[in-house]
A and B are shown apart, each in its own frame.
Chain A
Amino acid sequence: MSKKSDKTAAAERPAKGATRSAGRNGQAERAEAKAKQANGTAPKYDLRNVSESAETLIGFYRQMLLIRRFEETTGEMYTRAKIGGYCHLNLGEEATIVGTMSALELRDYVFTNYREHGYILARGVDPKLIMAELFGKEAGVSKGRGGSMHLFDVESGFLGGYAIVGGQLPPATGAALAITYRGSDEVVLCQMGDATTNIGAFHESLNIAQLWKLPVIFLIVNNLYGMGTTVERASAVAELYRKACAYDMRSERVDGNDVLAVRDATRRAVEHARKESLPTLLEAVSYRFRGHSVVDPARYRPEEEVKHWRNLDPVMALAHGLREAGLIDEAGIKQIDDEINAIVVDAVRFADETPAPKPEELFTFDYATDVPNVDRSLPGDHTGITQDG
């Protein structure tokens, strides 16, 4: 095995389940785990004996396929210049998204980074309104003011995609503080990428969350790269969940390609948060099939590595498992495929046709509380004076 392919090591399933303190893993155990990981593990779903209903499992598949098709189409719309700015896709991360989101209730809150289309889809928000946001339309989830990196839907508790690395962690921690303040038992899930674990906001937030006993789940989606930099080149500790030990926080690593494993790990974290009002650092190891953003050809990744992970495709794996267990047949797969395609085509049609925001409404959301003397002059104007006539 080349050194490069060691990166695939991260995809191990957490055989031991929840680890209270990551530091308990001995050096030898880690080395052994790493050796095992090097082979990569496709989630070999044996769904014949799981206690999940066919409905639940097929529901997961539908959601994962929706994210897959939505993101493929988003990439296409970007190259056709229907979508501007930066655009980061969730392709390859579908099991992590559906697994985590399915463990939450609607009353819970979700904060994410800028790679978040799939999360808001999985919260049940209408794909039309999400695509409309990507197209910069008034009907979009953020009224066309936010774009791909700043999706928001207050109804579903999706409290934002945040585009500054680490920026979402302090507010997510504060949301959990508000929950304890009012004495209710919702939980907050705060998603981030692997590189976020190196920034100050990560450490300040983890410390505060454990110190103040806050019901927040910090979810690291470790897709092995922060832009083009491998985890090993950016983090002194490559097993990111172990960083929790500095704060005496519960932590766990899970195979992000295995939707059931992710769901179960998230459930454990949710229970820890809801019942004991305590945080968890949860690391899901997955892979993004494309570059950092749509325009990144990802030449920094070896071909065999990409091929390796493509073979672990979480959507294909679940479809395979469903068929193997006789829970669905080819006709059923085809029917779901057709339905999902229709939803995405519909979303694009809606996004294309619905109007852009009106320039007259440039200042509509400038302040929540209007006060005197807000300057609403335009670039070619003098500064605004209301009484100036």
Chain B
Amino acid sequence: MPEVTYRQALHDTLRDEMLRDENVFLMGEEIGVFEGSYKITAGLLQEFGAKRVRDAPIAEEGFVGAAIGAAMLGLRPVVEIMTINFILLAMDQIINHAAKIHYMFGGQSRVPMVIRTPGGGGQQLAATHSQNPEVWFAHTPGLKVVAPSTPADARGLLKASIRDDDPVLFLENLALYNTKGEVPEDRPDDVLPIGVADVKREGSDITIISYSRMAAVAMHVAEQLASEDGIKAEVIDLRSLRPLDRATIVDSVRKTNRAVVFEEDWRAYGIGAEVAATIQEHAFDHLDAPVRRIAAAEVPLPYAKNMELAALPTGQHLVDAVHATLDASGGVRGNGRSNGSKGQRSASRG
């Protein structure tokens, strides 16, 4: 399998879907002539023309709402919102309209649209350009929300999202665009199901639950924990935030008896809160320690680099949380207590 970037996987998948179905068209700010703020749509205007790659004015409510109406008449718009922070301008259209139309009108109209948008902080973009409000959408019945962490998942889930007859929020991440991974060649069957989590790494000591960029970080942390401390961490990449694959989470925690949620959004009422609630509902008797949540500090993200770093979750926070959880519950099975890395933990904080 060829290795490509997350960006390339998105680009190629958009192109493949546009070639497959002429009802698929792209709409968004700067996606055509400018070729996309993050170049996902580079070259597509030349190849498909302005009808299929439509530059929109800076009017999120207007063009996201227009995508809804176009979808109601049978087209399959794929809207790009430059970053998820700007989606707030379109909230009425997404929450009050896209999410409601199928149900509220008794199933008479479908809204097969995709909204692609990157989240993520950590680039000194400060408070209004660094948010991760995906939970607002994951909270809303009628929407589907996916958040792939690898190029292959990005491809499979983007295909599924475009072919799905419901509105899908497709969450990307600025820091993932340049990451690389193997992606299968174009096949009719490389569509991933929405609503199914992926056990990205198997393990028996502890379950790490994550999504989007943090799932990629979690994979590195799990490797590090294995090689340095002999800790076998299972990593669940949620991939889909709505529907949430609770069964995969619960099955894993019943096996490992411990869980840490690793997320980039704010902790209060966040994705991790829902995961933790699910675990206590369905695996209460299996838990050996409280579920921990690593999440962003609850402030509007500050600009100064050191302040920004202080607010955002890192791999080291996850390392520490894994050790703390294991320490609180008798350590790694058959491997004594996992206290070998305490020095490293304190050394690398901040």
Chain B residues closer than 8 Å to A113, beta-carbon distance: none
Chain B interface residue count: which class? 35 or more
Q: Mark B223-240, 1 if CB is under 8 A from A, else 0.
A: 000000000000000001
Q: Which of B65, B111, B164 contacts A371 (CB 8 A)?
A: B164
Chain B residues closer than 8 Å to A211, beta-carbon distance: 57
Q: Which of B57, B97, B103, B240 contacts A167 (CB 8 A)?
A: B97
Interface residues of A in 202-256 (CB under 8 A from B): 204-205, 207-208, 211
A146 to B278 CA separation, bound complex (whole angstroms): 31
Q: Contact: B282 with A388, CB < 8 Å? A: yes
Q: Contact: B166 with A153, CB < 8 Å? A: no
Q: Contact: B92 with A369, CB < 8 Å? A: no
Query: If the complex has contacts A201-B61, A211-B57, are A174 and B70 also in contact, measured as CB distance less than 8 A?
Result: yes
A109 to B244 CA separation, bound complex (whole angstroms): 37
A145 to B57 CA separation, bound complex (whole angstroms): 35
A14 within 8 A of B: no
Q: Contact: B245 with A372, CB < 8 Å? A: yes
Q: Contact: B70 with A178, CB < 8 Å? A: yes
Q: Contact: A154 with B108, CB < 8 Å? A: yes
Question: Which of B114-122, B189-197, B199-207, B304-312 lies on the face that meets chain A?
Answer: B189-197
Interface residues of B in 244-279 (CB under 8 A from A): 244-247, 250-251, 277-278
Best-surrounded residue of B105, B166, B193 (most CB of chain A within 10 A): B105
Chain B residues closer than 8 Å to A176, beta-carbon distance: 69
Chain B residues closer than 8 Å to A111, beta-carbon distance: 69
Q: How many A-B residue pairs have CB under 8 A?
A: 187
Q: Which of B96, B107, B166, B243 contacts A364 (CB 8 A)?
A: B107
Chain A residues closer than 8 Å to B105, beta-carbon distance: 142, 145-146, 150, 152, 160
Q: Contact: B25 with A181, CB < 8 Å? A: yes
Chain B residues closer than 8 Å to A386, beta-carbon distance: 247
Give chain B nearest CB distance to A204 CB in angstroms: 3
A375 to B57 CA separation, bound complex (whole angstroms): 37
Chain B residues closer than 8 Å to A25, beta-carbon distance: none
B11 within 8 A of A: no
Q: Contact: A388 with B247, CB < 8 Å? A: yes
A264 to B234 CA separation, bound complex (whole angstroms): 70
A170 within 8 A of B: yes
Q: Contact: B281 with A383, CB < 8 Å? A: yes
B124 within 8 A of A: no
B68 within 8 A of A: yes
Query: If the complex has contacts A366-B141, A372-B195, A387-B247, are A142 and B106 also in contact, measured as CB distance less than 8 A?
Result: yes
Q: Contact: B247 with A385, CB < 8 Å? A: yes
Q: Contact: A373 with B65, CB < 8 Å? A: no
Query: If the complex has contacts A142-B108, A368-B110, A385-B246, are A167 and B96 also in contact, measured as CB distance less than 8 A?
Result: yes
B213 within 8 A of A: no
Q: Mark B44-85, 1 if CB is under 8 A from A, else 0.
A: 000000010000110101111111111111110100000000
Q: Contact: A369 with B164, CB < 8 Å? A: yes
A164 to B92 CA separation, bound complex (whole angstroms): 8
Chain B residues closer than 8 Å to A373, beta-carbon distance: 195-196, 240, 243-247
Interface residues of B in 14-44 (CB under 8 A from A): 25
Q: What is the interface of chain A, defined by CB distance below 8 A to chain B?
A: 109, 111, 140-146, 150, 152-154, 159-160, 162, 164, 166-167, 169-179, 181-182, 200-201, 204-205, 207-208, 211, 364-369, 371-375, 382-388
Q: Can you list 8 A-B pairs with a CB-CB distance of less than 8 A?
A: A150-B104, A152-B105, A154-B108, A159-B72, A167-B92, A175-B72, A211-B57, A373-B244
Q: What is the interface of chain B, defined by CB distance below 8 A to chain A?
A: 25, 51, 56-57, 59, 61-75, 77, 92-93, 96-97, 101-112, 141-142, 144, 164-166, 193-196, 240, 243-247, 250-251, 277-278, 281-282
Question: Besides the contacts A164-B97, A208-B56, what 13 more A-B pairs have beta carbons closer than 8 Å?
Answer: A111-B69, A141-B106, A143-B107, A159-B72, A167-B96, A167-B97, A170-B62, A173-B65, A365-B106, A373-B240, A373-B247, A375-B243, A383-B278
Q: Which 3 A-B pairs have the closest CB atoms?
A: A170-B65, A174-B69, A204-B62
